[in-house]
Structure 1
Amino acid sequence: MPRFAANLSMMYNEHAFLDRFAAAAADGFQAVEYLFPYEHPAAELRARLDANGLTQALFNAPPGDWAAGERGLASLPGREAEFRDAIGRALEYAGVIGNDRVHVMAGLVPADADRARYRATYLENVAYAAKAAAAQGVTIVLEPINTRDMPGYFLNRQDDAQAICKEAGAANLKVQFDCYHCQIVEGDIAMKLRRDMAGIGHIQIAGVPERHEPDLGELNYPYLFDLIDSLGYQGWIGCEYRPRAGTSEGLGWLKPYLGR
């Protein structure tokens, strides 16, 4: 049966961030994810999870200067020391909060960049992150992101992400398969899920093309959920979408799965 995690960075924006945990639990979610935890003490976040019977599915490692437009450090030559510090901070939080998945963002690459140099940096950095995370049972995930939403992002395709993971050779390095991003860049989602499931460490969903609830748009999510189940996926499916109106009011799509 699919297991869904509410993405608190996009959902429940009707509430202050720390109140979103209770709102998600009240709607039947058993897990949450979000972009970054670092504005709040890890112990406070763990307390919110425990008070509401929630599991932390995932968060992102520090991405550099997000407010200035940075979208990750992993592929950026010359930022290796900062990247390692970011991984250390993410694992400190994970150790308290209890999640076993951390997403590492690749970063933005200039159009005229030497991509081979960026790829070499990326490979070295994600291998380091996986080795550091293995000591506490954490899996590092890499997410291909579409170039419409994030122009210049280093990693865009599922096959490229899978190749990086294979080359790094770490058992705890997997791909974060976001159906929204994949549909925009590549399509053929069902076949890619079948091809790559052994290397997928986390799945996310949203309607395409507007990134609203998964009950509208060009993807047949009930079919995909059944397929994901049949392929033996045991992880959480992160609901990383922007509600059309109120979050709770838009959860009609979820109710059949809560009752299973």
Structure 2
Amino acid sequence: MHIIQFDSYFNLTSNFAKLILPSPLLIEREGTITTGERRIRLVRKVREPVGEALEEWKVYCKLAKMFDAKGFDYKNVFEIFDEAVKVVKAYNNVDAKRVYSGEDFFADKKIKFYRLNPEKFKGFESMRSKNYPFILFTFRSKYHFLTNEATGKSETLNRMKEAGPFFYLNKEDAARLKIRNYDEIIVKSKAGSLNGYAFISKRILRGYVGAHFHFESLLINKLFPLEFDPRAFTPNFKCVAVKIIKRKK
């Protein structure tokens, strides 16, 4: 299998790629982004791409031309979006010209207002056991984004006090386990084990441990068994029962 990677930075995926093509940053490209709420947002180019970086659609068009493929004679990204609006059912209610004039649209739905009812949720207490008395949950850092390829290169963001790859503990739990800030600890689940550093936080409730999922140096998903939600069919990377051991010096 040959992996071709489009990216603006070298990252873990680069180790597996047979070919790496430089991709422009978001501020170096034109187009639209459809968000998780299916809102279509316009992106305007702020500066030209650095070096030989090309937007992906331009690479595809060049490749299609090499193979004498038809239908790839696009002059700009608006033509591609306009075609998608016409042929993709989810975008049928979208006006491409109005989107490019700065107006918001939603793919596959209209703006509606609903009365929201709380979801019935039993909680995570059933996960706990004598051997694994803590619930570890993952969350985002305000200083980093997703798997940290871009934000992790910022010296300013990496200097933030709570921006590192820590296990966040409740003050009372930490005191009982004789753990202090920056002590090295071992966190174990039925699926795996990780070494990391403790950070005591007022935001963490007793019996819980928090961890960010952004860091290569703390591959938190190793603690999660391969389990899928029966309704959404998504893997559980959110909560798992663990135990905490203070590592001996």
What band does the TM-score fall into relative to the shorter chain?
under 0.3
Normalised to the residue count of structure 1, the TM-score between the two structures is 0.19
Q: Say which structure is richer in helix.
A: 1
Kindly indicate whether structure 1 or structure 2 has the higher relative contact order, using CA contacts under 8 Å at least 6 residues apart: 1
Q: Say which structure is richer in strand.
A: 2
Greater Rg, structure 1 or structure 2? 2
